[in-house]
Amino acid sequence: MELMQIIWVVISAAVFAVSGYLKSVGEKPDPVKFLSTLIIGAFIGLIFSFTGAPVTEEAISVILVTYIGAVVVVENAIKAIVRRWKA
Provide the whole-model pTM. 0.56
- pLDDT value of position 58: 64
- pLDDT value of position 54: 65
Q: Give the amino acid at 22.
A: L
pLDDT tens column, 9-39: 777 777 777 777 776 667 777 888 878 877 7
Average pLDDT taken over every residue of the chain: 75
Between CA 59 and CA 72, with CA 62 as vertex, the angle to 5 degrees is 140
Q: Do the Cβ atoms of 71 and 9 come closer than 8 Å?
A: yes
Q: How far apart are CA 85 and CA 87, in angstroms?
A: 6
- pLDDT value of position 53: 64
